[in-house]
Amino acid sequence: MPLRREGGQRRVARVEVDLTRCAGYGHCVDAAPEVFRMSDVAEVAEVLRPRPGPELADSVREAARVCPANAVFLFKDGPPDPDGDGPAG
């Protein structure tokens, strides 16, 4: 499902990490350190900025793309579509 374009940029409204999928590779942290970090208590990624600004959209999309566990989910803004507000990546 494509993300909404705002001012010519695709916007990411919300970011989540599925902790049941996350295997602690840290690729998301490498791609977007402003948004993700590795947990101090478990070998999983944590979201620092669940609603990143448009200036971080590219790095957040890259983080989702490089996650080998497919644990990073990106959500679009606006009201849910008829199929629900599911992952957009």
pLDDT at res. 76: 86
pLDDT at res. 21: 97
pLDDT at res. 44: 97
CA distance 89 to 86: 9
- What residues in the chain have per-residue pLDDT under 50? 1-8, 78-89
pLDDT at res. 48: 97
| Helix residue ranges, H only, 18-76 | 27-31, 57-66
Residue 29 φ then ψ, to 5°: -65, -40
Please tell me whether residue 18 adopts helix, strand or coil conformation. coil
pLDDT at res. 11: 74
pLDDT at res. 7: 46
pLDDT at res. 79: 36
